Amino acid sequence: MTRKEVIVMRDLLGTNKQVAAEIRKELRARGILSVNLLSSPGSGKTTLLEALADRFRGRRRMAVIEGDIETERDAERIRARGVPAWQITTGGACHLEARMVGKVLGEVPADLDLLFIENVGNLVCPASFDLGEELRCVLLSSPEGDDKPKKYPQAFLTADALVLTKTDLIPHLPFDPAKAAAEALSIKPELRVFRVSALRGEGMDELAAYFVEALARLRSGHA
């Protein structure tokens, strides 16, 4: 990598950090908890959000910013649950950046409780870009294998919580959830770990409670 390329990347990350700080400040002022979801493609991010939408209906107001290379398919699925959703199509970029989120922030209702950002499916690039989130959750599904944390350590190092998804498939796959959790915790010991099956509802109440507790802390700290 040339010196020019290093400087360009440093400037890009520096600019992203500044925009992310402004987004975080704005959302905190509104009392909105923002959550950035990272994972490989197909780990179940959208299905997880659908399950959360069902649990929060009538109790908490949530919205979703969807990130994908193309199509509005995930945003359409969320809207079908009666939840506001905005689709960001990157046109080939492997991650969302803070400036992309900032462009739709003005459309986010002021009376919201929770704003979820479903990042582009990728365990590499998204880990380096702060989106102004309050919490970052990395998802790992049972079909992916239990060896991913040490292969993609940055994603787990920058996360606040690990969500092991599709746990209903574990009996049929060579996936050891304890091993996956132990590897992730060896990278970041303070990670919160959740095991869920969004389709069956297993573990979803505990995960929803985690977000509600984080929302309460946010609002008590910025009252």
pLDDT in tens, the chain (223 residues): 444 444 444 555 568 999 999 999 999 999 999 999 999 999 999 999 999 999 999 999 999 999 999 999 999 999 999 999 999 999 888 899 999 999 999 999 989 999 999 999 999 999 999 999 999 999 999 999 999 999 999 999 999 999 999 999 999 999 999 999 999 999 999 999 999 999 999 999 999 999 999 999 999 985 4
The residue extents of the domains of the chain are: 3-221
Residue in 185, 148, 143 with CA at minimum distance from that of residue 166: 143
**CA 167 – CA 196 distance, rounded (Å):** 6
Residue in 34, 39, 87, 89 with CA at minimum distance from that of residue 62: 34
- b/e sequence 117-151, b meaning 16+ C-beta within 10 Å: bbbbbbbebbbebbbbbbbbbbbbbbbbebebbee
Determine phi and psi for 16, rounding to 5 degrees: -60, -40
Q: Please name the residues in contact with 16: beta carbons below 8 A apart, sequence gap of 6 or more.
A: 97, 98, 99, 129, 130
pTM (two decimals):
0.92
**CA 210 – CA 204 distance, rounded (Å):** 10
**CA 38 – CA 162 distance, rounded (Å):** 10
Q: Compute the C-alpha angle 193/194/195, nearest 5°.
A: 130
Residue 192 carries which side chain, given as an amino acid letter? R
**CA 11 – CA 4 distance, rounded (Å):** 11
Is 3-221 assigned to CATH 3.90.79.10?
Answer: no
For residue 92, the model assigns a pLDDT of 81
